[in-house]
Structures are given as C-alpha cells and as structure tokens.
Structure 1
C-alpha cells in the first residue's frame, strides 16, 4: 500500500509541476483527496509556516509600495555598474543579501533585468551572472533569519540544544562561502558571448536590445520604510536570542518565537503604512504580495500532502531509513535535494522531511549541514525566478536545452549546494 500512496504523491506533484505556478499547491489538495479515498488520515496543515510567510510578505509588500524595494534595487544597480567587469561575482552577492534580508527569493525579480543589461553592455555572457544570481537567491533562504524554512527548522533543533543564532551563523557562513566560490567557477562556464552562434544570429536579426541606464526617482519615504523593516528583523533576532536557553534572558515568554515574528512583522507593515504615508489598498496589489500568497498556497497544498504520506507511514519509514541515515548521514542531503526538486519550496520540504529525519536519530550537525539541500529548486527549469532570467536575457545565452536538464543553472546549482553541505558539516563539527 505504501508504494501506491507514494505513487499518488509523486503523480500529484508531477501534475502540479507540469501546469506550473500556484497549481503545485492545488495538486496537493487532489493528492490528499486520493489518499483519503484509500483510507489515509489527512496530515497536519503547516499553518505556522503559512502564517509566517503571510506576515513577512505583508511587511515586504508595504515596503515595496513605499519604495523601499526600489531603493535597494537602485543601490544594487549602482554597485553593479560601478564594477561591471566583476558582475558574475557581485550579482549573486546582491541577490543573496536581498533574499537574506527579505526572507523570500522573489526579491531577485527586480535585479535580474539590471544584471542581464550590465553583463550585455560589458560583453559578458549573461548566463553566467544570471544563473549564479538565481541560485544565490534560492539558497539564501536557508540562511535568512526571517524565512519560514529557517524559523521552522530552528524550532525543531532548539530541543536538541542548538539555539537560533548558532543555526543562523552556521547556515550563513556555509552558504555564503559556497555562493562566492561557485561564482568564481561560473565565470568560465559556457563560451564567450561574442563566440555564441545563437547570440550572433539574434544580433543580426536586431533582436538584442540596448537599453540605457534609467534612474527612476526615489519615493520620499523609501529609506524610512527600509529602516523600519530592518529594525523589525533586528528585533526578531534579538527576541529569538533572548528566548534561547543558552542566553536565558526570557525564561517564561508570553509570546512564542513564531507568534513574535508574526506580530512584529504585522506591526512593521502597519508602521510602514502609517509613517510612510502609503495607500493601504495598494499593498495587496504589490508584486511581492501576490507572489507571497501564491507561495502560501503552494506550501499549504504540497506540505499537507507530504505530511499526510509521512504521518501515515512513519513507522515503516523509520524502520527502513534509520540504519541507512545513521551510517551515512549525508544521505539526508540527497533525500532533501530530490524532495525539494519536486516540492518547489524550501519551507515545504523542511516541513515534510526534517521532523522525520530527526526522529530517525539524525544528528543536529548532519541536519544543519543538509539543510542547504532544500534549495534544489533549480533542477526542473520551471521555477519563476529561473524562467524570468531566461526571458530577460535577449542574447539567448541563458537558454534551456532540448534535454530540459541541460540548462545553465544546473552546474552552479549543484556546485553551490554541494559546497554548502560540505562546509555545513565542517562548521557544524567545529561550532557544536
């Protein structure tokens, strides 16, 4: 029966992935219905993850309406244009830190056009900075102090003696180092732009546009909105540290960490709306708000489906996998990698597999090191930021091959993930 149930889960995810977008979440619902027809009790819906995403996205959307996101993008563009020859190294650092700050990889949408244009102006193959920039925006989720995946994962590790700040520190150092080293390698991937026959054909047909730098005027309270949002992140990190048993500043909290994140982010959204004098009705129309709500649907459907399958078969999974994972802890990274490839969400993958892995006796070090593997959203070339990078590169260098998997994001993605996991094991053993 377990194989039939697994087949239903995989088929549902495959159908959702084929349709694309928010349909991956819809597919989770039909998968749960199919399992229920077999007598499987529905699992728990990850409301904690969903509510955190909603609260954080609300604050980000308010900041975007106030001009805070444009302020960040303008500063990023100035940095890239000041050092254009190093764009393959600087671009991923820009998208990494923007995701680290916001807790969502969708912030990369605003910088991808700049990256593509600056690379093209310098004769740099755009697929190089674009590919590693997209990968950096995905893996930074596993280091962001406000991402739903990080917050949930830290709640699993605290009972095992790993505090929030230590977890963020290990993930930040391992993923950032991996991104930087991969960017050095990415500079040599693919032929030079001038030697690319696809680019030459498009250039001859007049399909390669040359856009001049455009500086849109900043809104009057753009910086204020960004400072409010950053202040909210700082407050969350302080509160989470104070709750840690190691620090012990707050021993009997009125608010749990999850509740504190939700309350602080909603308060930040209100403060931005009030102090930056924006129209509250425009917040729900912001691009980040729409993409964030789509992410909530995806997490709800897919994580619910995964939880339904895992909870129904937890004893069988434990007996089959415990010995293997105890002998080869790095196998957890491979399991998370393939799960994320299908679930299309770092938070959903963490929610679906990490509790079971820790229940099987996987050490905290192995779990932390493997955490970066939940960012394997690049394998199937259908993720929104990946597709956006392809569309924004009119030189044709960032193209998806006929074999589907032979796209420019594969090597940077595999290398970044592998390095992050390796550094995670090293740092984990040194710190814990």
Structure 2
C-alpha cells in the first residue's frame, strides 16, 4: 500500500474514533481514542506514539486540588463573590458578566465554575430589563477564553508540555491574558447590540401574555445558603497555589536547579505545577478537615477525570498517527501553516468544535504548528480553542438556553447558528488579532 493511501485510511480511523467519541460523550472520547490507537498499531502496523503522561498528571494534580477546595466550600465562596459583583452592576451586566466569567475561569482553571453563575446572570439581566441572551451568550463564550489564560487549566497542562523550554508559562500568559481581556470587552460591546430589546421582542411578549414567563418584577434574587468557615480559606489556599505557580514561572531563578538526564537546569514547570497543586490539596484536606472520601464524589473530580481520560486517549491516537505519517501528512500541513499562518487558527477552531475538547485539540494540532511557526505566534492563535462553542453540544450552552424562559437565548435548526455563534466569532477574531499584535511587539 502506498504511503498516501495508508495515511488516508489511518486518517479515517482517527476521524471515526473522534466522531464516535463525541457521540458517546463523557469518557467515551478518550476510550474511542485509545481504541483508535489500537487499530493503528495492530491493523496498520504503526509504531506507538507517546502518550501525554506529563499533561495527564498535571490535570490529575489540579483537579485534586480543585475538588478538595470544592468539598470545603471554596467553589461556592468564589461563586458568591462573582454573584455580588454581577448584581452590583445590573445595567452593565453585558460587560461585567463576561469579564467575571473569564476571570473566575482563569483563577479556577475550569469553566465548570460558570454553571453556577448562569442563573445569577439570567435573573439579574431579566429583572433589570436587559435581554438575557446578551450577557448569557457572551459570558458562556468568554468563560472559554479563561482556559487559555489560566496557568492551571487542563489545556494549559497539555500546551506547556509541547513547547520548547525557553518559551515559558510567563510568556504564554503575557499574550493570552491581555488578548483575552480585550476580546471580552469587544465581545460585550458587540453583543450589547444583538437582538431586540425585551419591550420590542414579540416572542417574549407573547410568552409574557400567556403566563409562560413571570414578569421581571416577580423574579427574585437567588438566596445563597450560609457558607462554612472553611469555604473562604480553602479558596485562599488554592488561589495562593496558583500565584506560586505563576511566580515560579515568571522567575526561573526561584526554582531549584536539578539534573535530569545529565543536564542541569531549573526545575520543570510541569513538576512545579504537580507538586504545588498536590501540596495545596493536602493543606486544604488537613486544615479544613475534609473527609478524603468526599473529594472523589465532587463534580469537579468527575469532570476533571473525564477531561484527563479524553486527553490521554485522543492525544495518544493523534501522536501515533502523526509520528507514522510525518512525510505524508505533517510536513505538507506544516508547509501550509508556514505559508498561510492564519490556517493554524482555523484548524484549531474547527478541531475544537468537532472534538469539544480544548486539551485534545491542543495535543493534536500544536505539534504540527511547531514545525514551522514560532511559539509566540502559535500562542497568539491558541485561544482559537473558543471554537468549542461551534456546535451547541456543551453543558453550559444547553443550561443557558434552558434557563432563559424569555426565549431570547436559543438554538436553531442549523447546528452552527445559535445565540452563541456571533459572540464566539467576535471573540475568536479579536483574541487572535490582539494576540498576534502582542506577539509581534513582545517577542
């Protein structure tokens, strides 16, 4: 069989595994990825690629620390802070809510924290006469920007292990954080003009007359239960660990010098993240007297394990495919990226939409880009992972649609056209353009 036909058939196996994994959902994405790897090895005789061991254990460390914090009430405390910020600025909610969603995802390392903010955003906007679609859709989208700006997200774990040692976590954040903040603001300004005001929206008015939705005056503020004393301090411990990781990433000289494979240098940031996060988890476990059995039952632990398994299976399959098709697939794609660098942003965007996994997309696409583009340019385009909102297949999209009783936040018969499409596209274009500008000026 010719190398070209072999690459095509193996590529079909990869695509089929991803398709079936997305259809299965949950850990199915990772399991189908691992099965696809087995088919490539046993049926096509491919040499096994490298499984993403480092990225996998970074995710395990971070979700462990996050889950302990959640068990101590820390996530609820963070949500209460976000809720107060949003409710203090009701008239500017379309600007404030997306920035809060971004900031809290950045700090927590997971967009799962956004689920708890959805009812707050809906009620605050509706009570104040703001079309709920505007802040709900914008905030859902910008929460994903926080993933590529967070030092402790699963996608960052995958990304860090792919880059050369001289391009550090600090370099990544120098590009992604300011670019994402600008994108949040631009998205909010555009989204503020989307759709009719509630007074002019015929569908909403019909629902209101039919009694299908309460009037704004009848929607009361959500009352949060009293939080335990452990809530705030568990969040402080977790956020302090995040700060330690960022500082050690900024200043190499603060990290101990170690020798690995007879080469001496600063301790790897992969190990830094792992040991700091596991230590923070232990501090919270002991200080807040969290029963260890409760930690594994937390929603963050469940979702984190799903992300880790999905990353492991898909990334291993992708690496196996790419390693065995270097001349046929990787080099031609690298040449396209080299000649048309914008193609990388499109590739990341589309693959993220198809897989709904930022981590798996990162491990699949970034190695190809490293063959021809600088790490700074790649980092500027990396937030194209916002393409995860391309199809309405994510929990936060569905939750936002379901909670909006006014009917303004909606899906349509066309899978790629929904309330999240315009803010997604605006965020994507603006974050990449600003990122490329920063990369050209700073690197």
Q: What interval of TM-score do these two structures reach, taking the shorter chain for normalisation?
A: over 0.9
What pairs with 1:198-217 in structure 2 (closer than 5 Å)? 198-208=203-213, 210-217=219-226
CA contact (8 A) 1:101 1:230 kept: yes
Q: 1:212 to 1:140 in 2, by over 3 A?
A: closer
Q: 1:304 to 1:276 in 2, by over 3 A?
A: same
Deviations 1:64-96 (Å, cap 9, x if unpaired)?
121111111111111111111111111111111
The equivalent of 2:398 in structure 1 is 387
Pairwise CA distance, 1:254:
7.8
CA distance in 1, matches of 2:152, 2:431: 19
Query: Do 2:148 and 2:383's aligned partners in 1 also have CA atoms closer than 8 Å?
Result: yes
TM (norm. structure 2) is 0.91
Shift of 1:142: 0.8
Counterpart in the other structure of 2:370: 358
1:424 maps to what in 2?
Answer: 435
Q: How does 1:105-254 map to 2 (within 5 A)?
A: 105-159=111-165, 161-208=166-213, 210-243=219-252, 250-252=256-258
What's the offset of the Cα at 1:235?
1.4
Residue 207 and residue 305 in structure 1: after superposition, are their counterparts in 2 closer, same or farther (change >3 A)?
farther
Tell me, in whole angstroms, the C-alpha distance in 2 between the residues paired with 1:194 and 1:38.
Answer: 62
Residues 115-156 of structure 1 deviation map (CA, whole Å, 9 limit, x = unaligned): 111112122221111111111111211111122322443444
Mean alpha-carbon deviation: is it higher for 348-357 or for 201-210? 201-210
Which ranges in structure 2 are unaligned for 5 or more consecutive residues? 1-5, 259-264
For the Cα contact (< 8 Å) 1:29–1:301, is it kept in 2?
Answer: yes
Deviation at 1:250, TM superposition (A): 4.2
List gaps (5 residues or longer) in structure 1: none
The Cα shift of 1:275 comes to: 0.9
378, 383, 408: which one pairs with 1:372? 383
- Retained in 2: the 8 A contact 1:302–1:343? no
TM-aligned CA deviation for residue 26 of structure 1 = 2.7
Cα 1:303/1:200, change in 2 over 3 Å: farther
Matched, 1:310 2:315: no
Q: After superposing the two structures, state which structure 1 stretch, 318-327 or 132-141, moved more.
A: 318-327
Q: RMSD across aligned C-alpha pairs, in angstroms? A: 2.0
Q: Is the 8 A contact 2:98 2:138 kept in 1?
A: yes
Instruction: State how 1:253-268 maps to structure 2 within 5 Å.
Output: 255-268=267-280
The whole-number CA distance in structure 1 between the counterparts of 2:291 and 2:356 is 33
Residues 242, 250 of structure 1: 8 Å contact kept: no
Would the aligned equivalents of 1:370 and 1:424 in 2 still touch at CA under 8 Å? yes
How many residues of Structure 1 are paired with residues of Structure 2 in the alignment? 427
2:82 is the alignment partner of 1:70: no
Give the 3 Å change call, closer, same or farther, for CA 204–144 of structure 1 in structure 2.
same
Instruction: Give, in angstroms, the shift of residue 404 of structure 1.
Output: 1.4
Q: Find the counterpart in structure 2 of residue 15 from structure 1.
A: 20
- Residue 307 of structure 1 deviates from its aligned partner by 1.7
1:115–1:130 Cα contact (<8 Å) kept: yes
